[in-house]
Structure 1
Amino acid sequence: MVASVQGSAPGGPTISFGGGAGGQQQAKPVPRLREDLKLLPGPTDLDGSPSWTILDPARGRYYSLSPQAVALLGAWDQGMPDRVLARAMAASRLPLELSDVDELARFLIANNLVAGDEPGMSGSYLRQRKAAKRSAFSWMLHNYLFVRVPLVRPDMWLDGLTPLGRMMFSKGAGLTLLTLVAVALYLVGRQWDVFLHTFTSFLTLEGAVWFGLAMVVAKVLHEMGHALAAKRFGCRVHSMGVALLVMMPVLYTDVSDAWRLPERHRRLIIGAAGMAVELGIAAIATILWTMMPDGPARSAVFFLAAVSWFMTLLVNLNPLMRFDGYYLLSDLIGVRNLQGRGFALARWHLRETLFGLGREPPEVLPPRTRHAVLLYAYGAWIWRFFLFLGIAVLVYHAFFKVLGIMLAAVEVCWFLAMPALREIGEWWKARDEMRMNRAMARSLAVLALLIGLAFVPWQGDIGLPAMLEASASPRLHPPAPARVVEVPVAAGARVTAGQPVVVLDNPDLDRKIEMIRLELDVTQRLIQRQAASAATAAEVGVLEGRLAARLAELDGLMAERARLVVRAPQDGIFRDPPADLMPGLWVSPARVLGLVVAAEGGRIEAYVRGEDLPRLQVGARGRFVTDDPARDPLPVVVTAVSETAVDALDQPALASQNGGPIATELDHERRPVPRGAVYRVWLEPDAGAGLPAGQTLALRGMVRIDAPAESFAASLWRRVIAVAIRESGF
């Protein structure tokens, strides 16, 4: 390889300059270089040798040259390939061949670095123009994920801000930034719970609007950081604008002129400048948030701090995305064009690992650098797989169904299936080189193992999120407003039906009973006195009627007093009394004084996914395993299965909003609605097993039901079919 490219053009030449095989083809003069090209010193290579860079000012592209290419270009004015080769070898003492001259000439023509009147250039231009022409559909396939729209050419007015750039990116500014970040982290660490609570409290539509505004401010300042750092080191800023990333607008700054800087630390500063500015914003906003009183201003700085921390640490610093972190990693390990070279090296490494072809690597790197590049490449492949898969799901749900299906299919086919098929095609082309060796034997063994795991039935149970409850657990309520006199039963104690659990009284009721008793005593004395006199004997009947009414009223009040002794309605265990239940406490009829849970028996309500429903049968046995690892599994049996999917969960503790295992979302009535089809299942403990004494009333856990064994492939196929049927309605 004589050159590596920061940008390349399609449509390579088909002519030869260094002669064909055996020298049968007549050699032609090498093409003349364009006069406006600039040869600039580049950074030191990994082996310590100097490098050079060609600047194409017309297109704003940079091309990194190897020492061999620099030696050949130094003798390029010799004209004929053999003379160029002889002069270059004499001057550099590098092992060069005519094929190197031919390769360099092809590279120069392919990237339009030679004079336009050279032979073959007109055909090259036509081929490049034809390759660049795309239909509207082809353009959409290639560009709907990323479209760049330049808005301003800021280089001239940025010249006036160069002093600001010198101040911002000096050693003193760096130390100040580190100090601010340390202080901010210390202060927010002392109020971390409040910070998290503030973040979750703004997860609303209004909060999203404020976060969007804060992101605009932070990203504008981020891009200004890149621009000012570039001007600080004498680079041009060609454009600033908006890029549409999966139809989402993001800002960008073109600082590709930084490639002309030979000092690696300067390029690192330019690459990290945006994150440094955002870290400064985050630190200052965080410090202000910890000091300001509640109000709109404190909310505003919170939004700015949260967005800046998030974007800097989780997005821009990620080297697997083509943002700042990628270019920083590329410069740190000294591998330019890291993604292209890393993917080429990883493809070679993958083929050698699988088949042991014995091919030479695309380039030779020091061991530590090679390991770093391979780690990056494999990590980027994994990241891109989940990223493109997530984008497919996003575009499917973001548009109406027909367009969503089309865009999701394009995403999966073009960015996931096509690269995989191309690589498999390369394996097929290399089939003649494949031999039975250690790598091949290992690959076949792993393949056989994976096929066995996929197609051999080994999954023999079904997991059902479930709640275990007592078969009966009536609540105890006061019959009327009353005062606690005594609680003769401790929490967790066994009680029998009719046993007093809480003794209450009501002073008003006691006064009424005492007054009626006094009135009865007076009435009885009047009856005795009137019966002794003939003149008043006629009034005895009236008094006896009053006496009977008061006796009936007394019976009612006594019955009401008897109800103030709250008794156990069944045999069981007294549980969950209020913590403040003690003598002297006034309670209302709505107050729960506790529960009497049946000592024997229990019921389990569980939910099964639609794809597992065919494997579940009434009478199937299994085990209920609670979330508490200290409890033993409980044997259970399926008693009934619902025939229709539930609209909402009757057990909120199983919903994801409450930390449960079933993915749900709240409807307008705040009910947990499952995101997929789930069916209700009822189970009972075997052999009368129930809730042991002293445990909580309801236990959350997982039921493992014994079911016919099924392979992973069959299970996956059923789930795919279920999703396809569910999403097939228009």
Structure 2
Amino acid sequence: MDDIPLIFDPVTGHYHRITPAGEKVLGFLDGTRTRDDLVAFFSRADRIRAEALTRQLDTFLASLEHSGLLEGSPPPTAKNAGTGRRVRTSMLMPRVVITRSLPTLLEPVARLLRALPAGLLVLLAVLGAATGYGLGIHTYLTRTPALQDLAGHAFLIATAVMPLIVLAHETAHALVAQYLKVPIRGLGVALLFYFMPVAYVDRTDAYRVRGRSARVVLAMAGILSDGVLCGLVALTALNSSGLVRDTTVFLLGMQFFLLVVNLNPLMPSDGYTALEAATGQANARDRAFTLLRHTLARKPLPEHLANLGTGARRAHLAYALASAAYVCFLAYAMLHAIPLTADFALAVVGR
């Protein structure tokens, strides 16, 4: 990733970022040398250098063992180890994999798209999405009837159609990943923070993509797809009336809500992932919450966080606190939205 070396663990499916110096040391960890052998080799009989190398090597080896990467060390998350499990519960997000067949289904399409210039494909997608969102905003502002007129069948139909739009969103991510030859691991559904249902594609292997721009496009693919679909829904609303118009207006509202959620940097969203890819900051959110947990529990910081500067530490803590507060707000809002949702549904039967 960005020419930064990564260790891939095939047992857990996780990637571990290391330094170029660590990458050189890995080549010597073949089971034939002890720690002292390595110190002697790298220090070349320089006693002062050997003392420094001993401390550095001990830290590096301890980090590898803690991550379960040394032979004989147990994986840190044994209950979720392996990429073949259909149900997983890590990262505050219980997940169920529905299918792993998308790479097979999408490869013929990806093969055709690879024959076209990548820049042209991105340009067309951006123009299509921008046009679609613009048309959708215009339509929503000019064609939306009174809220009470939208209750009933339009709400139920729009709710039934919305999962298809979400499926198209996730398929767009999968298609770009397939185009980049890093197929997704699975398509599934999850319960984010144990209360928010979401669909997802596991694109962990995007770390293998070297260029930042390609990873940004992969992160934004779903939002670009939503923009094109938003334009199609808006055109339908502009050229219809009655139930069809009401349903498509409802769909537009749901799509704009989905856009806000997907762009929100306080969530593990597409917008956050795109920012992470653009800046080269891998796993910044995880580092922020790890720092917050250890600070609140007054526990020693992990090695990769112990050397953070004061400014960086404050920024990470501020982000973690803001994100946690936002999640609490979302839970509160979803709880209070239940009565309104029930009213819309009951309007179908005239109650």
Aligned residue in 1 for 2:281: 335
Select the residue among 4, 24, 30 that pairs with 1:71.
24
| Structure-2 separation of matches of 1:315 and 1:209 | 21
Cα displacement string for residues 35-74 of structure 1 (whole angstroms, at most 9, x for unaligned residues)? xxxxxxx315xxxxxx201112233221111123113213
Select the residue among 39, 47, 54 that pairs with 2:7.
54
| Structure-2 separation of matches of 1:395 and 1:309 | 20
Select the residue among 313, 324, 331 that pairs with 1:391.
331
Select the residue among 175, 192, 211 that pairs with 1:263.
211
Shift in Å, 1:169: 8.8
For the residue of structure 2 that corresponds to 1:321, the secondary structure is coil
Label 1:87 to 1:303 Cα distance change in 2 as closer, same or farther (>3 A): farther
Cα displacement string for residues 513-544 of structure 1 (whole angstroms, at most 9, x for unaligned residues)? xxxxxxxxxxxxxxxxxxxxxxxxxxxxxxxx
Select the residue among 165, 180, 183 that pairs with 1:233.
180
Label 1:396 to 1:282 Cα distance change in 2 as closer, same or farther (>3 A): closer
Aligned residue in 2 for 1:479: none
User: Contact 2:140–2:249 at 8 Å: present in 1 too?
Assistant: no
Label 1:224 to 1:376 Cα distance change in 2 as closer, same or farther (>3 A): farther
Between structures 1 and 2, the one with greater strand share = 1
Aligned residue in 2 for 1:646: none
Select the residue among 276, 284, 306 that pairs with 2:232.
284
Provide the identity percentage: 24
For the residue of structure 2 that corresponds to 1:146, the secondary structure is coil
Query: Across the two proteins, how many residue pairs are aligned to each other?
Result: 317
User: Contact 1:153–1:238 at 8 Å: present in 2 too?
Assistant: yes
Amino acid at match of 1:332: A
Shift in Å, 1:301: 4.0
Cα displacement string for residues 276-326 of structure 1 (whole angstroms, at most 9, x for unaligned residues)? 111221133224433x132444445434433323212x1011111112122
Alignment of 1:306 with 2:259, yes or no, is no
| Structure-2 separation of matches of 1:379 and 1:171 | 34
User: Contact 1:289–1:298 at 8 Å: present in 2 too?
Assistant: yes
User: What is the 5 A alignment of 1:277-676?
Assistant: 277-290=225-238, 292-312=239-259, 314-343=260-289, 362-364=306-308, 374-375=314-315, 377-388=317-328, 391=331
Shift in Å, 1:161: 2.9
| Structure-1 separation of matches of 2:254 and 2:224 | 14
User: Contact 2:136–2:233 at 8 Å: present in 1 too?
Assistant: no
User: Contact 2:7–2:16 at 8 Å: present in 1 too?
Assistant: yes
Alignment of 1:106 with 2:58, yes or no, is no
| Structure-1 separation of matches of 2:317 and 2:91 | 24
Between structures 1 and 2, the one with greater helix share = 2
User: Contact 1:237–1:255 at 8 Å: present in 2 too?
Assistant: yes
User: Contact 1:242–1:251 at 8 Å: present in 2 too?
Assistant: yes
| Structure-2 separation of matches of 1:189 and 1:216 | 21
Select the residue among 24, 49, 53 that pairs with 1:97.
53
Select the residue among 96, 103, 125 that pairs with 1:149.
96
User: Contact 1:165–1:231 at 8 Å: present in 2 too?
Assistant: no
For the residue of structure 2 that corresponds to 1:149, the secondary structure is strand
Label 1:390 to 1:190 Cα distance change in 2 as closer, same or farther (>3 A): closer
| Structure-1 separation of matches of 2:243 and 2:161 | 14
For the residue of structure 1 that corresponds to 2:6, the secondary structure is strand
Amino acid at match of 2:62: R
| Structure-2 separation of matches of 1:94 and 1:289 | 73
Aligned residue in 2 for 1:212: 159
Cα displacement string for residues 409-437 of structure 1 (whole angstroms, at most 9, x for unaligned residues)? xxxxxxxxxxxxxxxxxxxxxxxxxxxxx
| Structure-2 separation of matches of 1:319 and 1:390 | 14
| Structure-2 separation of matches of 1:229 and 1:276 | 11
Shift in Å, 1:200: 3.1
| Structure-2 separation of matches of 1:248 and 1:322 | 12
Label 1:257 to 1:199 Cα distance change in 2 as closer, same or farther (>3 A): farther
| Structure-1 separation of matches of 2:333 and 2:287 | 30
Amino acid at match of 1:180: G
Alignment of 1:175 with 2:123, yes or no, is yes
| Structure-2 separation of matches of 1:145 and 1:204 | 34
| Structure-1 separation of matches of 2:241 and 2:336 | 41
Aligned residue in 1 for 2:86: none
Q: Which moved more, 1:62-71 or 1:103-112?
A: 103-112
Where in structure 2 are there 5+ consecutive unaligned residues? 81-88, 297-304, 344-351
| Structure-1 separation of matches of 2:337 and 2:136 | 37
